[in-house]
Amino acid sequence: MDNQTRHEFKTRSGICAIAPEQITFTRPDPGTRRGSSRASLLYVAAASLMFGFGIYLFLRGDTLMALILIMAGLAFPWLTPRNESASGAPNIPRQAIRQVEAHAPRPPITRGYFVVSYEADGKSREQTIVVAGGADEYARAVDALRAAGLLET
């Protein structure tokens, strides 16, 4: 295991660099952050539109479709996945990492990804690293994590 060398691989949103002291995520343009806050905003907007359109249809007399949309609008926020321990941290200290789980790609359904479990501010956190590309980039990422001593063989 070569814990003193810097290893890099491409992720869906930039580059993951594994250094002896920390894992760093860099994005081509830090101003454009793809995060869970934008997804949550879209879920709230979709739920509001369903609920509002359901009320509109109810007032127009289309009861069945109105009830379906109103129920969907009310249920949508509770059915959307929420993960309180999810993190978007740009850096993860190596000593805080507890575990790294590898999930192989299943083309064309999913890309390969890793879940890094670590401690931050006394709380358990998780960061999902989605690998860019297919099996070749995933293999490169697995090799980098194994060489850094973060992934068991």
Reference 145, options 4, 10, 5, 7; nearest CA is 7
Residues 47/73, Cβ–Cβ less than 8 Å: yes
Question: How many whole angstroms separate alpha carbon 66 and alpha carbon 52?
Answer: 9
Reference 72, options 99, 95, 93, 53; nearest CA is 53
CATH architecture label of 7-27+84-147: Roll (2.30)
Q: Let me know the angle formed at the C-alpha of 77 by 74 and 78, rounded to the nearest 5 degrees.
A: 90
Average pLDDT, the chain: 83
Reference 94, options 4, 153, 16, 19; nearest CA is 19
**Other beta carbons less than 10 A from residue 100's beta carbon:** 20
What DSSP letter does each residue of 5-30 carry, written as one string? S-EEEEETTEEEEE-SSEEEEE-S-T
The pLDDT of residue 65 is 94
The pLDDT of residue 84 is 52
**Model confidence pTM above 0.95:** no
The pLDDT of residue 5 is 77
pLDDT tens-digit series, residues 54-100: 999 999 999 999 999 999 988 877 776 655 556 667 888 989 999 99
pLDDT tens-digit series, residues 26-53: 877 655 555 556 667 788 888 999 999 9
The better pLDDT of the pair 130, 4 is held by 130
